[in-house]
Chain A
Amino acid sequence: MTSNTKSLQNLYINFLKIVAFLSSLMVLFILLPIVSTVLNQLFDLNGLIKAIQDKAVWDSIFLTSYAALLSTLIAIVFGTPLAYLLARTDFYGKSAIEGFVDLPVIIPHTVAGIALLAVFGSSGLIGSFSPVKFVDALPGIVVAMLFVSAPFYINTAREGFQSVDLRLEQVARTLGASQAKVFFTITIPLTWHHLAAGALMSWARAISEFGAVVIIAYYPMIAPTLIYDRFLTAGLAASRPVAVILILFCFAVFIFLRVLLWGRKNEHT
Chain B
Amino acid sequence: MGDKLKMLTIILLISLIFAGCSMKDPTQAKVKLKVLHAGSLTEPFKELKKIFEAKYPNVEVQLEAAGSAKTIRKVTELHKEADVVASADYTLIPKLMYPEYADWTIKFARNQIVLAYLDTSKYANEINSNNWYEILRRPDVKFGFSNPNDDPCGYRSQMVIKLAELYYNDDSIYDDLVAKNSNLRWVEENGNFVLKMPNSENINPNTDKLMIRSMEMELIYALEAKEIDYYFIYRSVAQQHGHKFVELPAQIDLSSVEHADFYKKVKVILANGKEVTGKPIVYGITIPKNAVHRDYAEKFVELVISEEGQKVFEKLGQPPITPETDNFEKLPENLKKYVRS
Contacts and interface: CB of A to CB of B under 8 A. Distances in A.
B2 A233 contact: no
B214 A14 contact: no
Given A10-B1, A121-B225, A232 B201 contact: no
Given A18-B5, A233-B270, A233-B272, A221 B225 contact: no
B150 A229 contact: yes
A10 B4 CA distance: 12
Interface in A106-134: 114, 117-118, 121-124, 133
Interface stretch (B38-46, B66-74, B103-111, B294-302): B66-74
Interface string B56-82: 000000000001011001000110000
A215 B218 contact: yes
B221 A232 contact: no
A114 B221 contact: yes
Contact of B207 (A10, A59, A124, A137): A137
Could you tell me the dominant secondary structure of chain A's interface residues? helix
Contacts of B251: none
Interface in B201-223: 201-205, 207-208, 211-214, 218, 221
A221 B211 contact: no
Nearest to B67: A232
B213 A14 contact: no
26 contacts: A10-B1, A11-B2, A14-B2, A18-B5, A59-B201, A117-B225, A122-B225, A122-B227, A123-B225, A133-B207, A133-B208, A135-B227, A137-B207, A215-B218, A219-B204, A219-B207, A219-B212, A221-B201, A231-B70, A231-B73, A232-B69, A232-B150, A233-B69, A233-B270, A233-B272, A235-B73
B201 A236 contact: no
Contacts of B187: none
Given A124-B225, A226-B200, A233-B149, 19 more contacts: A7-B1, A18-B9, A117-B227, A122-B225, A123-B227, A133-B208, A136-B207, A137-B207, A218-B212, A219-B205, A221-B201, A226-B201, A231-B73, A232-B70, A232-B149, A233-B150, A234-B271, A235-B77, A238-B272
Given A214-B214, A232-B67, A221 B200 contact: yes
Contacts of B70: 231-232
Kindly state the interface size class of chain B when it binds its partner: 35 or more
Contacts of A123: 225-227
A149 interface: no
A253 interface: no
A236 B78 contact: yes
A25 to B, nearest CB: 13
Nearest to B66: A232
Contacts of B200: 221, 226, 229-230, 233
B214 A232 contact: yes
Contact of A11 (B5, B207, B208): B5
A56 B218 CA distance: 24
B15 interface: no
A233 B70 CA distance: 8
Nearest to B202: A56
Nearest to A15: B5
Contacts of B201: 56, 59-60, 221, 226, 229
Contacts of B149: 229, 232-233
B322 interface: no
B130 interface: no
A180 to B, nearest CB: 43
Contacts of A18: 5, 9
Interface of B: 1-2, 4-5, 9, 67, 69-70, 73, 77-78, 147, 149-150, 199-205, 207-208, 211-214, 218, 221, 225-227, 270-272
A80 B51 CA distance: 55
A66 interface: no
Contacts of A238: 272
A228 interface: yes
Interface in A37-81: 56, 59-60
Contacts of B1: 7, 10-11
Contacts of A219: 203-205, 207, 212
B196 to A, nearest CB: 14
Interface in A121-165: 121-124, 133, 135-137
A221 B199 CA distance: 12
Most buried by A among B2, B200, B272: B200
Contacts of B5: 11, 14-15, 18
Interface in A1-57: 7, 10-11, 14-15, 18, 56
Contacts of B202: 56
A30 B147 CA distance: 34
A114 B222 CA distance: 10
A59 B202 CA distance: 11
A234 B147 CA distance: 14
A76 to B, nearest CB: 29
